[in-house]
Amino acid sequence: MKKYLLTFFMLALPRLVLACKECTTGLPRGLRGEMQHPSGPDSNWDYLIVGITVVIVLLTMFYSVKWLLNPGEKESTHIKSLILIPE
């Protein structure tokens, strides 16, 4: 039963997620067919806001991984040492 249910969702999900042809005609070329009944960007400010958000997220991910792998603290009792090198 699980196999049939999984097959159904794999085949039906793309149809449920994608928008109809009428809804995607007013969208920019890069966003057509990506979402279900989107309103689309209202102005160029929307692209700027999304771009700034992406940069902030990427910088946060970079520094999180960098400081987790190479912590500045050298003490063996520091919490980062307990995470990276379990005893």
pLDDT tens per residue, range 12-67: 666 555 666 666 666 667 666 666 555 667 788 988 999 999 999 999 999 999 88
The domain ranges of the chain are 45-87
For the residues of 2-70, what is the DSSP string, one character each? Answer: HHHHHHHHHHHHHHHHSPPHHHHTTS-GGGTTSSSS----SSHHHHHHHHHHHHHHHHHHHHHHHHHHS
What's the confidence (pLDDT) of residue 83?
72
pLDDT at 58: 97
Q: 72-86, pLDDT tens digit by residue?
A: 777 777 776 777 665
pLDDT above 60: residue 6: yes
